[in-house]
Structure 1
Amino acid sequence: MIGATPPVPYTHAVHARRCGEAARAGDVLAGQFFQVKSGPVVYCGRIVAAWDHESAGEMWKLEVVYPVKGIQSFPAKRSRQCGGIDGRCLCEADARSARGTSAPSAAGSDLEVTC
């Protein structure tokens, strides 16, 4: 989208904050989907592990569920949080485009995160 604000990466700090909020509320979070763009391909996956790479920075190891299945690693700076709206990790901005509306929805408000 021209003029659109780029998505905020789903970083280790964002993940830690969400896990802390859930723990304070007495919740255990699991299953957070997010997208990672690698070249022309947009992958959907769930967190398996996180680490810092000396040259690439923050990294995620994902259980990729779309468009292929498997375990892959990606830089966190290429990721964005998703709602798993359609089972293929459709992010909220994509869902609004598909619905033909720019109004925010409740999608993603009850997302779970692996902690």
Structure 2
Amino acid sequence: MAELVGPRVYSCCHCRNHVCLHDDIISKAFQGRNGRAFLFSHAMNISVGTKEDRQLMTGLHTVADIYCRDCRGVLGWKYERAYEESQRYKEGKFIFEKAKIVKENW
């Protein structure tokens, strides 16, 4: 008998609100404020904060912090604009810090 398993998701580490799907990972080779981070194509159950320019390791970007919609904890940020042509692929994508999310349904 086969076991039906739902999609592998990541949840907020504080309240277990589902925030992103494993299938939406673009890269695991990113650096967050507090260590390793993942780049995702989509996010769910989050709120997006105010846009601001930040000088990141790969240059100047316009970003907005992303928050868990339930507990309001900061989970990472959304890339709104990249000023360097080589970084434009990040626009509209989401960074989730590994320390801020946990695996569900694995």
Settle same-fold status: TM greater than 0.5. Answer: no
Higher share in helix = 1
* TM-score, with structure 1 as normaliser: 0.25
